[in-house]
Amino acid sequence: MKKDTRASVLIVEDDLDFQYLIRQAIEAEADMAVAGCTASPKEAVSMAVSLAPSIVLMDLSLSGSFQDGTEASRQIRLHTDAKVLILTSFEDPHIVIRAAVRGLAHGYIFKSHFSLLVENIRKAVQGATPEEMMIRSLILSCLSPAEYSIFEIMLGREVTLQSSPKTIANQKTMVLKKLDLPSQSALVHIFREP
C-alpha cells in the first residue's frame, strides 16, 4: 500500500462558510488533504492528537475569544508535532503577534489574504519560514543572555559555563518558568530543530 505523502491539514474555524472555503482550497491541491474540521478549541486539541496532521489552521477568535484559539494552539504544540498557523480577521499586529507567541505558533495568515493560504501552508510544511524564526525569537526574547545559554544546554548543545551546578539548576527552573513550559522535555519538543 502506497503511503500518503500529502500534507494533512486540520481546520479549526467557527465560521462554517469560511471553513468550507478553506476545505475547498485545500482539497483542490494534489499535495494536500483535509484531516478534519472543527469549531471547538477542546475538540481541536483531541483531533490534533488523534489525527496527527502536518498543519493546524487555528482560528484565533473562536467563540469571540482570542484566548480560546491561542490556548488551543499552545496545547496542540505541546502535545503533537503539528505546525500551527493562526488564522485571523484581526490585523492588529500587537494582537496577532502576542497570540502567535503565546500559542507557540509557526505563523499566521490574515483571512483577508485568503489567496495566499495554500502557499503559506506549503511553505510551513517545507521547513522553517522567516515568520516562524521571528516568532521563535520573540518567544525567547524574555530570556537573559545567561538564561539563553542555559536554554541551549537544555537543548543538548555544547555551551561552556563557569556556573555552579546549583546555579545552573536554578537557571533551568527560571527558563522553564519564563517560557511557561512544564518540563525540559516540553522545551526540547517545542524548540528542537526539525
Q: What is the pLDDT of residues 93-151, one digit of tens each?
A: 888 999 999 999 999 999 999 999 999 999 999 988 899 999 999 999 999 999 999 99
pLDDT over 80 (residue 173):
yes
DSSP H stretches of helix in 28-65: 41-51
pLDDT over 70 (residue 154):
yes
Q: What is the pLDDT of residue 26?
A: 97
Task: Tell me the C-alpha distance between 33 and 6, whole Å.
Answer: 6
pLDDT band at 191 (very low <50, low <70, confident <90, very high): very high
Phi, psi (deg, nearest 5) at residue 109:
-135, 125
pTM of the model as a whole: 0.91
Q: What is the pLDDT of residue 57?
A: 97
Identify whether the C-beta of residue 154 lies closer than 8 Å to the C-beta of residue 190.
Answer: no
Q: 127: burial class by Cβ within 10 Å (0-12, 13-18, 19+)?
A: exposed
Q: What are the structural domains, with CATH classification, of the chain?
A: 7-132 (3.40.50.2300), 142-191 (no CATH)
